[in-house]
Amino acid sequence: MSPLLETEIDDGVVQEVHRVARAARLASRRLALLTRGEKDAALLAMADALVEQAEQVERANAEDLQRGADAGMPQNLLDRLRFDAGRVADSAEGLRTVATLPDPVGEIVRGSRLANGLAIRQVRVPMGVVGMIYEARPNVSVDAAGLALKSGNAVILRGGSAASSTNAALVDVLRGAMSARGLPPAAVSLLVGGGRDSGRALMTARGLVDLVIPRGGADLINTVVREASVPVIETGIGNCHVYVDASADVDMAVRIVVNAKTHRTSVCNAAESLLVHQDIADAVLPRIMKEFTAAGVTVHGDEAMAGFAQAQDTPYVPITDADDDTEFLSLDISARVVRDLDTALAHVQEHTSAHSEAIVTQDRAAADRWVAEIDAAAVLVNASTRFTDGGEFGFGAEIGISTQKLHARGPMALAELTSTKWVVEGQGQTR
């Protein structure tokens, strides 16, 4: 039991989670021996099954959406929860893309032959058993299952109660497809019941679970980081900034800012903060505010922003210190006019969540400073923050965006779900 846990975990829940973890451990040993062809065939079967049984998944999702609406769930969270036919198809396509990617298991990272004749090589191997603790994001169930299978890992899913029906339907479909290909269904497991204790039992199952990845809001992530005794990769919140530099192309700046804020507000790579150099404010802000008005964006702005917002009838509220650190996940954005690049850099460095930070500029020196000085998982030059995504990066899918620095950073895909081992071959050498 972790000394950091404030209350005891129900013993029955612990026993059930450990039972699931032991089954997953056995399954992971089978997965570690699979060829790429066997993995890819299973991934394609999973994708086909999702499409064929999409109506079953949609019915389950409708139940979750109705419960959420009845409970007063905000629209941005309902959007995260929604898993309609289009999103089912997108998840299936993600599995097919993962099937086309190289198998990371067995890849030689580096190697050499020593002076004494020993041949050494560092080889990628599966983590083993990966635990996912996440909130109302059903796509995570599919992405995690697919990426875990391709990288040779078993995965234990602990989704939020808001998506319980959808997750159960998805895992049922995925396990059925895997079983039909002769793979152990325990390779993908869903923790059902047990409330928060099941998540806490998962994150403290050291020796049975090799890695835990939390994905959700700040409260969830901080709880897992604080209480877990299993190693954790932190996927942080996205207080993402877009800075429009003095040299920015105005048309480009408008496109990027509007896309980053309004394309989809409920995701971690949506822009939450806007900074505009004072020398370009008169040229770019009237156009940005006009677009914000049309999209229904509320600007939490400083005094300089107020006039631009009022001139375009843009919803406006005075900015607070808390706004600078807020992941709104809605049609809200904090906005400031800044004196120069140094001021913008200092502001981002103080308030960044280390997720994605973008600059719009035609000045190569400014772009180079941004890339060198901003400490984040992704820094973007003349591109929307919405591109920080495993699928957009060509990874097929992602299991989360890591905002920490150890082992993995940025979109976590196949390579990030592996560890390495050293293989040493000799001809009888002794030391």
pLDDT digits (tens), the chain, 431 positions:
333 345 688 999 999 999 999 999 999 999 999 999 999 999 999 999 999 999 999 999 999 999 999 999 998 889 889 999 999 999 999 999 999 999 999 999 999 999 999 999 999 999 999 999 998 889 999 999 999 999 999 999 999 999 999 999 999 999 999 999 999 999 999 999 888 999 999 999 999 999 999 998 888 999 999 999 999 998 878 999 999 999 999 999 999 999 999 999 989 999 999 999 999 999 999 999 999 999 999 999 999 999 999 999 999 999 999 999 999 999 999 999 999 999 999 999 999 999 999 999 999 999 999 999 999 999 999 999 999 998 899 887 788 899 988 888 999 999 999 999 999 999 999 99
pLDDT at 7: 64
Q: How far apart are CA 279 and CA 123, in angstroms?
A: 52
Q: Would the pTM of this model clear 0.85, i.e. be above it? A: yes
Q: 232-255: buried (b, 16+ CB within 10 Å) or exposed (e) per residue?
A: bbbbbbbbbbbbbbbbbbeebbbe
pLDDT at 1: 37
Beta carbons of 85 and 58 less than 8 angstroms apart:
yes
pLDDT at 3: 38
Show the domains of the chain with their CATH numbers.
Answer: 11-235+412-425 (3.40.605.10), 240-387 (3.40.309.10)
Rounded (10°) angle between helices 250-262 and 281-295:
30
pLDDT at 76: 81
Beta carbons of 319 and 338 less than 8 angstroms apart:
no
Is the C-alpha dihedral spanning 21, 22, 27, 33 positive or negative?
positive
Q: How far apart are CA 126 and CA 39, in angstroms?
A: 13
Beta carbons of 388 and 241 less than 8 angstroms apart:
no
pLDDT at 224: 94
Strands (E), 320-384: 332-338, 356-360, 378-381
Measure Cα distances from 267 to 26, 89, 318 in Å: 35, 19, 24
pLDDT at 4: 39
pLDDT at 396: 75
Residue with tokens 């060198």: 372
pLDDT at 288: 98
